[in-house]
Amino acid sequence: MAQFNYNTKEIIAKLVYYGPSLGGKTTNLQVLHKILDPASRGNLFSLETEADRTLFFDLLPINLGIRKGLELRLKVYTVPGQVKYNSTRRMVLTGADGIVFVADSDVNRYNDNIESLQNLIENLAVNSINIHEIPLVLQYNKRDLPNILSVETLGKKLNFRNVPSFESVAIEGKGVLESFIGILKGMMTHFAEKYHLAKGKTEISRIVEHMEKNLMEHVQKGQKIQKSAIQP
Ligand SMILES: Nc1nc2c(ncn2[C@@H]2O[C@H](COP(=O)(O)OP(=O)(O)OP(=O)(O)O)[C@@H](O)[C@H]2O)c(=O)[nH]1
Ligand SMILES: [Mg+2]
């Protein structure tokens, strides 16, 4: 569960990327790490098998100014998608404040997506987190593959809460930032209500807009740094 430090005006929160193995969760964190200005994020910690599959989890710390005197310190995790690592997935979900469910659009992964969502629901319940309440977005990844499930089919099976959903090609960096902004909006709205950071819906929207603006500034700074690094 998120903590709000009233003295330092910091919200400390946890976001988890969940989904079937090889769906693209680690790739999402790699992209975020790459595009964000180093001042807004820490190092990406990953523990992988020899075949580059997550063995334990990945962790990327991201700090975002929300408005003057209010910071969000986010720890972004991925779970290992392989079925055999369920106890690790449960552990990573402890205290989660938001979920990005990364589905694999490949037609052959239809059942794996459904099983992974069932598994998420069970593991949240074990952690006393209500799947109907936690901020959640869906990401339909690997839209570049030749044989993919339609967004409608994926939505019908996976989007039982009618939450925001995003198409992505994470290896090309497409849709990654959009999904991240989507879950941040959901989480910040939740925190603003929970910690009484704003009066009414209009002020909450203003906080969320401000946060998005700050994030985009970090992305632009990250681009400038990358450009200057590749120039001779
Ligand atoms: N074609 C395609 N491949 C992708 C895409 N996103 C990720 N991949 C590839 O899919 C493979 C698995 O990606 P990962 O990010 O490691 O998947 P994961 O969900 O972290 O997998 P686990 O750690 O086993 O749970 C890698 O070879 C990626 O390069 C995509 O959008 N399209
Ligand atoms: Mg992984």
144 in contact with ligand 1, CB cutoff 6 A: yes
Look over the chain and give the mean of its residue pLDDT values, rounded to a whole number.
Answer: 94
- pLDDT the model gives residue 232: 63
Q: CATH assignment of 3-230?
A: 3.40.50.300
pLDDT in tens, 76-129: 999 999 889 999 999 999 999 999 999 999 999 999 999 999 999 999 999 999
Give the model confidence (pLDDT) of 131-190 as tens digits: 999 999 999 999 999 999 999 999 999 999 999 999 999 999 999 999 999 999 999 999
CB 37 within 8 A of CB 22: no
**Ligand 1 contact via 179 beta carbon (within 6 Å):** no
- The residue whose CA has the least distance to atom 12 of ligand 1 is 22
Residue with tokens 């603003």: 192
Cβ–ligand 1 contact at 169 (below 6 Å)? yes
Best residue among 16, 27, 49 to mutate for probing ligand 1's pocket (most ligand atoms within 8 Å of CB) is 27
7-52 per-position pLDDT tens digit: 888 999 999 999 999 999 999 999 999 999 999 999 999 988 767 7
Pick the atom of ligand 1 nearest to 52's CA.
Answer: 16
Instruction: Assess whether the C-beta atom of 92 lies below 6 angstroms from ligand 1.
Output: no
* 173 dihedral zone (left: phi>0; alpha: psi -120 to 50; beta): left
